Amino acid sequence: MQLSYWEIKNWFTNVDFTIVGSGIVGLHAALALRERFPSAKILVLEKGVLPQGASTKNAGFACFGSLSEIIDDLETHSEDTVVQLIQKRFAGLQLLRKNLGDKALSLKSYGGYELFLKEDELFYEECRQKMPFINKLLQPHFKSDVFSKQGNRFQFSGITGQLIFNPFEAQIDTGNMMQALLKKAHQNDILILNSQTVTHHQELNEAVEVTTNGITFKTNKLLFTTNGFAAQLTHNQVQPARAQVLITKPIPNLALKGTFHLDRGYYYFRNINDRILLGGGRNLDFEGETTTSHETTDRIQNRLEDVLKNVILPQQSYEIEHRWSGTMGMGTHKNPIVQQLSNHVYCGVRMGGMGVAIGSLIGQEVADLI
């Protein structure tokens, strides 16, 4: 690409901070840097037309983990680690609300629910028995019980026991969130360039040389906030994980309101504009879903349709309008990776499927490393 003098001068000269990835983490990192360095030139590079990972493709759950997810996490993490993760997720949600405001997020505090299929009756009993212990574990932070039992007032079919309710969970409009975040970045003189894929970077004595599909330039500091796409650029232990989603057309008199978790959080659904948004199913094919492809697969989409028809909306007519997928960043541990990689290179990656909750906080934390 042959750039003009003006393009080189205004966008690619005397760059103080370059951030790779314009999602929740990247833009919060940029805003945190702007607050600390009012006159710095901050450049954000995004390989997609819109954020390519999950920031504009997630389900809009303002959550920090269902009861079954927390119990599962305690099998592989210490109590202190699990509590710290939950605290971080909740703090991240409060930071997101503070930065953008509930109106911009279209935040609705309907609460969250977990349901268990009949074939998971034994696991439901385990969760029910452990609920008082989990509530006691979280009580110092939330000052009240997080989880309680409720009847099946939404008339779900094929489930066992009662629903597990969490009043601290909410839902947001993901599109509105990202538009508000992009608007705030522009208002703070943060430069955002799309369709720029970083192919190489080389550390120099006092800067980093960055090569994209369009240009090579120098920046004083380089931050990677690419989450599920991080492994290739940062060599960190991050696995991409595809999340497939479908959404119905508007359903007249839809009574369902809230965010809902099923099968240890591998399935999730919610109401949005009189529609049902339903996603998940990667546990059907962990190996196949370890991909950055944004295609959808018949195997998982068919299972989503089966859950929609036989569990969520039994004996109710609806039409599916759209399907898509997004890329999450996973690892063997639930903690995000926030670290300095070299003298001038940093990263904040591996959100573990909790980017909405923790992304704003991780963006701030990686900026604080500088």
* Contact criterion met (CB below 8 Å) for 19 and 30: yes
Q: What tokens appear for 74 in the block? A: 């305690």
Contact 359, 25 (CB under 8 A): yes
Helix (H) or strand (E) holding 186: helix 174-187
Q: Is the pLDDT of residue 175 over 90?
A: yes
Sign of CA dihedral 268, 269, 270, 273: positive
Model confidence at 313: pLDDT above 80: yes
Q: Work out the mean pLDDT of the chain and round it to a whole number.
A: 95
**What pLDDT, on a 0 to 100 scale, did the predictor assign at position 319?**
97
Find the length of the chain: 370
Render pLDDT for 97-141 as a digit per residue (tens, 0 to 9).
999 999 999 999 999 999 999 999 999 999 999 999 999 999 999
The whole-number pLDDT of residue 2 equals: 85
In this prediction, residue 124 carries a pLDDT of 97
Q: What is the mean pLDDT of residues 9-38?
A: 97
Average pLDDT over residues 287-293: 95
- The CATH class of 5-57+175-237+333-368 is alpha beta
Give the residue extent of every domain in the chain.
5-57+175-237+333-368, 65-150+157-172, 239-330
Separation CA 107–CA 101 (nearest Å): 9
Q: Where are the alpha helices (DSSP H) in the chain?
A: 5-11, 24-36, 67-76, 79-100, 102-105, 121-142, 174-187, 230-234, 298-307, 355-368
**Mean pLDDT of the 167-191 span:** 97
Q: Is the pLDDT of residue 280 over 80?
A: yes
Give residue 232's pLDDT. 79
- Give the pLDDT mean for 24-42: 98
pLDDT tens digits, residue range 200-248?
A: 999 999 999 999 998 999 999 999 999 988 887 887 889 999 999 999 9
Is the domain spanning 239-330 CATH 3.30.9.10? The answer is yes
Banded model confidence at residue 334, pLDDT cuts 50, 70, 90: confident
Tokens of 285: 């094919």
Dihedral of CA atoms 209, 215, 221, 226 in degrees, nearest 10, equals -110
What type of residue sits at position 353?
G
Strands 216-224 and 208-212: what pairing? antiparallel
Specify the DSSP class assigned to residue 310: I
